[in-house]
Each structure stands twice: as structure tokens, then as C-alpha cells.
Amino acid sequence: MIFHNRYCMELPQDPKQYLRTCRQVYEACYTLTEASPVSNPSLVIHSPEVAHMLGMSPDFCISQEFVEAFSGNKLLDGMMSYASCYGGHQFGNWAGQLGDGRAISLGELVHEGQSYELQLKGAGPTPYSRMGDGRAVLRSSIREFLCSEAMHHLGVPTTRALSLVLTGDRVYRDMFYDGNARPEPGAIVCRVAPSFLRFGSLEIFHSRRDTQTQKKVLDFLLRHHYPQFSQLPPKEAYCAMFHSLCEKTAHMVVQWMGVGFVHGVMNTDNMSMLGLTIDYGPYGWIDNYDPSWTPNTTDFMQQRYAFGQQPSMALWNLEKLANAIYPQIEDAKPLEDALQYYVDYFERSYRDLRMKKIGLHEEYPEDKEILLSLNRALQSTEVDMTLFFRGLSRCKKDVDERASQQILMEPVCDSLYRSSTDELLLWMRRYQKRLQKESMPDVERAKQMNRVNPKYVLRNYLAQQAIEKSEEGDHSLVHTLLDVMRNPFEEQSQYEDFSQKRPEWARNKPGCSTLSCSS
Ligand code: AMP
Ligand code: MG
């Protein structure tokens, strides 16, 4: 394994090495920090695809050396361990320095010309831990591990997860914020991405009027992550990079909206400079289609990061980033243009995706209204988003739009949570009529629709069931879920149960419908 560690080699380091005392760190991007040892690490699961991507052999992944390395107990040759400094806007307010409070990077590995940062989450305190203990619990680690991989297989840009280990140590968490902290099993996920740089990695230097260090980060990003612009004069290059990031971010959010993913904490410290989904905390998946739904209990009042808010929140975050890099550019116009580009790109691309999701490949004047009224119908009827779109591919062109309710609703009846379906029925009639104008044969249309409408998503209640079993020592469901989520668009007859809509018992159960940030 070759670690080139260019982040550490090329960016300014905090001169106070290996000092974990919490403090403000100036003019530096990271602090060399050791992971704190854990007492009895054991492997719960690893992702064979990620291991392969990194050039790690299957044998190595089940070795003691692997467990020791990815629990933070031992550095492999060439690794460097450090915690990064960044800031962020949290829930609309500037929060100052945040940084890797419980993430410790192990350096950057190169394999087949690609560079990957490996990062442990939950490996102990760092100078950025503030009030936290630097640890993570099993439930949140299972959620991060499974969701990273599920998102990847759904085609959503995301950080990946290599491994999940139990530490053998207990971690105390007050899950309901009611003063009753309980001991939980501690765990560590090793996540992987070309870079974990965030919007907040640039904002922190703007907040300190430290344009010099900020420029170093921008140039680093250009050199390694946006090399296509690195030959341009600096101001132009930064603008081009920002423009490209606007597109990547729009693409990412379109993909979220398409599969019903709600990030839950879109603070600027959780927004990737590469347009990847980053930091899986109190995220959730839409069961019944409700744009005002947020899984995050901390956000219930404000609903700032609710499903339907995500496109505008990403824009808000990009605006904060534009402000932060403005002093390097001193021209607002190209930044404003890029933000406008985000809006236009998002709208076009989201519309295209929704048309694909309902299998309409030609353009007709009524399409706009069909999309609008679908949104209304899905909201007024309690409909499971995933099952609805998946079922829609079973509609046939030769069915008359005046057919009986039963015939029209049959393809999507699995998706209904309750029986009042008037508005949806109306929509199905309209859709049926529109479908007749499409020239594509039913079989081909169904095939194409099934490539964008997953059968399997990591439903909140499924992850919760895996967690409950795992906390009792049985990790089999975590393994099964990873296997199911590997092929989300395929019919997998042995896994039919995992495509079922949320059972009634899960409607208001913590972990299944709501999540606190306590993790
Ligand atoms: P998040 O909302 O999970 O992205 O976390 C926001 C900030 O809090 C980041 O700087 C994290 O590193 C930090 N943080 C979260 N949990 C802990 C913890 N248990 N110990 C130390 N820092 C934490
Ligand atoms: Mg974070």
C-alpha cells in the first residue's frame, strides 16, 4: 500500500503536534493527532467493493492487522494520522471553528492512479472535540456504514465506507436528551473519499481574514481535484472551480430528491468541496411522500433541512461559500452567475429525472401539469415514494383512462398507506391518457423506469432492525442489508421482504422515523 499523504505534505500544519487540548488552531489545515487506543477491537463488517477499489486483498480485510489499523490501534506503514480544521454555518448561523472532533484521517492512499483519504470516525478526542468525547456508538456507525454504500450503489455521489469495527469499549449517550445517558457499544467506521474538504474548510479562513491559508486550500483543490482548471489564471480558476462545484452539488441534490434521501444536517461543515454526500448522521429516507418531513429531531420546529428544502438549502450553503472566497476573486458577477447556474441546472435536471421516473420520454404541453399534480397527489394521499414509482412501471399503455378505479390503481396499490385516494386516482387517469402518446413499448419503458426507480432503499426501519440485533451481538442483518443494497434496482426474490413499506409499528418509533443528533 502506498500512502502519499499530499494533504499533510502540501498544506500548513498546526505546529502543536499531538497536543489534544481543545483550542483555536490558526493558519493551519490540520493537527497531527493520534487515535486513542481501544480495548478489544473486532470487525463487524467491511465493504469488499471499497477494499477492492483500494487494492486491499480479501485476506488482508479479515486479518488482525486490518482490525488493528481500522480501529485506530496501529498505523500501517506510510500512514499519517491527523484531524482537520474547519468551520461552518450550522442551522443558519456562523458557528466558528468546528473541525474533526471525532474523525481522524489516516492519510491518503494511492491505488491505480487514484488517491483516497481514509478516515476513522469515532477514534477518540482531537483538538477539535470541544465538549465531545471523540467517540461514536454502534447504532450511528451502522447507519453511516450502510448508507454510504447504499447511496453509492444507487448512483448517488457519496463518500464510501471501508469497515465497521466494534471497539470493545462503552460510550455514554443521552439519546433522547432527557438526562438519561446510557452506555452503548462503541464503534468506528473507516470512511473513504478522494477528499473530505468541506465548504467550512474555506469558510474558516474567511472568518479569520486569513486569505493566505485559504488560497493554499483553493490551490490544493485545483491541483488535485479540479486539475482541468489549474492552468487558468488564479481568479478564473477559482471561479471555474466554484461553477463546477455548483453543478456537482446540484447533481447530488437531484439524486437525493430522486431516491427520497433526506440528509438531515446540511450545515456548511457537512457540504463536500467535491459534491459528495458527506456525514451520515440523523439522515432518513422518505416513506410516505412528504416534502416537509425531516428525520432530525433537532430540526422539527424549523424544518430547515426537510426533504423539500434541500435544493434551496444547498443554494444557501453555496452562497456562504461564494462569500467566503469572494476576497480571492473580487468580482461578484462570476460567482452570482455560478449560483444562477445552480438554480437552472437543478431545475432542468430534476425535471428530467422526474420525467424519467414516470417513464415519459417525449415532450407534450401537458407534462408540466402532470408533474405538478403528481406532487400534490402524492402529498394528499399517503403514498410510499419508493413503491409508488417502482409500481408505476407496471402501467400499460392500452388501459383506457376511464377504466375502473381498481384497474387504474392496481400497479401502485402496494404503495398506499391509507385508502383515501381520490386525488391520486385522478392523476392515474391523467397519466394513463398521457401514456398512450408515448411511442416506446411497455416492456422497454418499464425497463428504463426500473433503472431510475430503486426497488430497495435503506428504509429507516430496516436500519433500525439491524441495529437492534447488532446491539445484541447478532450482526447478520447488517450483512444482509449490505447485500440487498448492492443491487437496489434489481428484483431480488430472496429479499422481497426488504422492499416492503414501513410497518405501522415503525411510524413513530425513534430510529425508524425520528433521529436525534446524539451519536
Ligand atoms: P456533525 O453535525 O455530526 O457533522 O458534527 C458537528 C461537529 O461536532 C463536528 O465538528 C464534529 O466533529 C463534532 N462532533 C460530533 N460528535 C462529536 C463527539 N462525540 N466528539 C467530538 N466531537 C464531535
Ligand atoms: Mg460533520
- Full DSSP string of 198-253: BHHHHHHHHHTT-HHHHHHHHHHHHHHH-GGGTTS-HHHHHHHHHHHHHHHHHHHH
Evaluate whether residue 409 is within a structural domain: no
Is 100 touching ligand 1 by the criterion CB < 6 Å?
Answer: yes
C-alpha 59/C-alpha 72 separation (Å) is 19
Q: Is the CB of 14 under 6 A from ligand 1?
A: no
Ligand 1 atom closest to the CA of 270, numbered from 1: 4
Question: What pLDDT tens digit does each residue of the chain (519 aa) get?
Answer: 999 999 999 999 999 998 999 999 999 999 999 999 999 999 999 999 999 999 999 999 999 999 999 999 999 999 999 999 999 999 999 999 999 999 999 999 999 999 999 999 999 999 999 989 999 999 999 999 999 999 999 999 999 999 999 999 999 998 888 888 999 999 999 999 999 999 999 999 999 999 999 999 999 999 999 999 999 999 999 999 999 999 999 999 999 999 999 999 999 999 999 999 999 999 999 999 999 999 999 998 899 999 999 999 999 999 999 999 999 999 999 999 999 999 999 999 999 999 999 999 999 999 999 999 999 999 998 899 999 999 999 999 999 999 999 999 999 999 998 777 899 999 999 999 999 999 999 999 999 999 999 999 999 999 999 999 999 999 999 999 999 999 999 999 999 999 999 998 998 888 888 888 778
Residue-range definition of the domain harbouring residue 492:
460-506
Q: Parallel, antiparallel, or unpaired: how do β-strands 103-111 and 114-121 relate? A: antiparallel
Task: Tell me the CB-side half-sphere exposure of residue 451, using CA atoms within 13 A.
Answer: 8
The amino acid present at 488, given as its one-letter code, is P
C-alpha count within 13 angstroms, C-beta hemisphere, residue 302? 12
Q: Which residue has its alpha carbon closest to ligand 1 atom 15?
A: 101
Instruction: Return the pLDDT at 510.
Output: 87
Rg (CA), the chain: 24
Q: Whose CA is nearest to atom 8 of ligand 1?
A: 101
CA of 372 to the centre of ligand 2 (A): 34
CA distances (Å), 370 to each of 65, 376, 392, 411, 426, in order?
57, 10, 14, 18, 11
Same domain? For 205 and 249 the reply is yes
User: Which ligand is closest in space to the CA of residue 519?
Assistant: 1
Q: Is residue 449 in some structural domain?
A: no
Domain identity same for 223 and 255: yes
Distance between CA atoms of 170 and 172, rounded to whole angstroms?
A: 7
Residues 6 or more apart whose Cβ sits within 8 Å of residue 352: none
- Return the residue whose CA atom lies nearest to atom 3 of ligand 1: 281
Q: For residue 474, what is its C-alpha cell?
A: 447478532
Summarize pLDDT for 356-373 with one digit per residue, the tens.
Answer: 999 999 999 999 999 999
User: Is residue 237 a part of any domain in this protein?
Assistant: yes
CA-CA-CA-CA torsion sign (244, 250, 254, 256): positive
Are 283 and 517 in contact by the 8 Å Cβ rule? The answer is no
Nearest bound ligand to CA 265? 1
Cβ of 282 less than 6 Å from ligand 1: no
In a domain, 292, yes or no: yes
Task: Give pLDDT tens digits for 381-394.
Answer: 889 999 999 999 99
Give the pLDDT confidence of 181-240 residue by residue, as tens digits.
Answer: 999 999 999 999 999 999 999 999 999 999 999 999 999 999 999 999 999 999 999 999
| Ligand 1 pocket member 200 (CB < 6 A) | no
- pLDDT, tens digit, 9 for 90 and up, residues 429-438: 999 999 999 9
110/180 same-domain check = yes
Residue 232 belongs to a domain: yes
164 and 79 fall within a common domain:
yes
- Cα separation, 360 vs 389, in Å, equals 13
187 and 217 assigned to the same domain: no
- The reply to whether ligand 1 has any atom less than 6 angstroms from the CB of 174 is no
Query: Which ligand has an atom closest to residue 283 CA?
Result: 1
- Amino acid letter at 3? F
State in Å: Cα 45 to ligand 1 middle: 23
CB atoms within 10 A of CB 292: 10
* Shared-domain flag, residues 66 and 177: yes
Closest atom of ligand 1 to CA, residue 103: 12
pLDDT score for 428:
97
- For residues 393 and 382, give the distance between their C-alpha atoms in angstroms, rounded to a whole number: 19
Please count the other Cβ atoms lying within 10 Å of the Cβ belonging to residue 295. Answer: 26
In DSSP terms, 185 is beta-bridged to 170
Rounded distance, CA 454 to CA 462, Å?
Answer: 16
333's CB contacts (< 8 A; 6+ apart) are: none
Examine residue 248 and state whether it is found in any structural domain, yes or no. yes
Residues in the chain: 519
With a 6 A CB cut-off, is 155 part of the ligand 1 pocket? no
Q: Are residues 129 and 225 in the same domain?
A: no
**CA nearest 276: which of 259, 309, 253?**
253
Task: Judge whether 8 lies within some domain.
Answer: yes
Residue finishing a domain among 196, 229, 252: 196
Beta partners for residue 198, in sequence order: 272
**Cβ 55 under 6 angstroms from ligand 1:** no
Probe residue for ligand 1, chosen from 24, 86, 130 as the CB with the greatest number of ligand atoms within 8 Å: 130
Torsion, Cα 141 142 144 145, to 10 degrees, reads: 110
Domain closes at, from 157, 173, 196: 196
- Confirm whether 340 is domain-assigned: yes
Give the distance (Å) from ligand 1 centre to CA of residue 122: 10
- Considering the domain architecture, whether residues 187 and 219 belong to the same structural domain is answered as no
**Cα gap 498→492, rounded to integer Å:** 9
In 3-state terms, what secondary structure has residue 505?
helix
- Site to probe by mutation for ligand 1, drawn from 33, 129, 135 as the one with most ligand atoms within 8 Å of Cβ, is 129
Q: Is 268 in the pocket of ligand 1 (CB under 6 A)?
A: no
CA max distance for the chain: 75
Q: Please indicate, yes or no, whether residues 25 and 104 belong to a single structural domain of this protein.
A: yes
Q: Grid coordinates standing for 295?
A: 428525520
Last residue of a domain, one of 336, 356, 376: 356
Domain count, the chain: 3
pTM tops 0.85: yes
Give the whole-angstrom CA distance, residue 348 versus residue 225: 26
Shared domain for 154 and 285, answered yes or no, is: no
Question: Any residues with CB less than 8 A from the CB of 162 and at least 6 apart, and which?
Answer: 46, 47, 50, 51, 54, 70, 118, 190, 191, 192
Q: Which atom of ligand 1 is nearest to the CA of 279?
A: 4
Nearest ligand by distance to the CA of 516: 1
Residue 371 three-state SS: helix
Q: Do 97 and 191 have their domain in common?
A: yes
Cβ of 98 closer than 6 Å to ligand 1, yes or no, is yes
Asked whether residue 84 falls in the same domain as residue 167, the answer is yes
Residues designated catalytic: 269
